[in-house]
Amino acid sequence: MSAVQMNIRLDSALKASGNAVIAELGYTPSQVVRALWEFATVQGTLPPALTHLLRGDQPADSSGAGASGRESEGAAIVSTFYQKVGIEEPVNGAVNYDELREFAAAEQLEKWEHA
């Protein structure tokens, strides 16, 4: 793997507080940035919470209210899958497509880490 260096500019207080939180979670800034780039590569998008922050809007609640057509389509696909394989759907409401996509990305990232 050929490594490259990235340089970004951000407020020094934001960097310090972000680094503290990241360290408390047991990661380095490089690990977090690498994970974000891997997520974007695998998913072809950014994590929904980050997208909402970048847009400056509030994320939709997990009940699916305000879900886009893509999210609704994803939930329908998962629901159909549950029915085909005979798995009982969660009783706590609709399937959250964003959560499923994030779980799939996390699984893929874990595979890459152990490869």
Instruction: Give, as one character, the DSSP assignment of residue 89.
Output: P
Residue 71 lies in a domain: yes
* pLDDT at 71 > cutoff 50: yes
Residue 1 lies in a domain: no
- Give the residue from 51, 63, 56 showing the smallest Cα distance to 102: 51
This prediction has a pTM of 0.50
Task: Please count the structural domains in the chain.
Answer: 1
Does residue 7 sit within a domain? Answer: no
In a domain, 89, yes or no: yes
- The per-residue pLDDT for 107 is 83
Mean pLDDT of the chain: 79
What is the domain range of residue 107? 12-114
**Is 106 a domain residue?**
yes
10 Å CB burial of residue 82 (0-12, 13-18, 19+) is middle
In a domain, 2, yes or no: no
Residue 4 lies in a domain: no
82 lies in a domain?
yes
Q: Is the dihedral of CA 99, 100, 101, 104 positive or negative?
A: positive
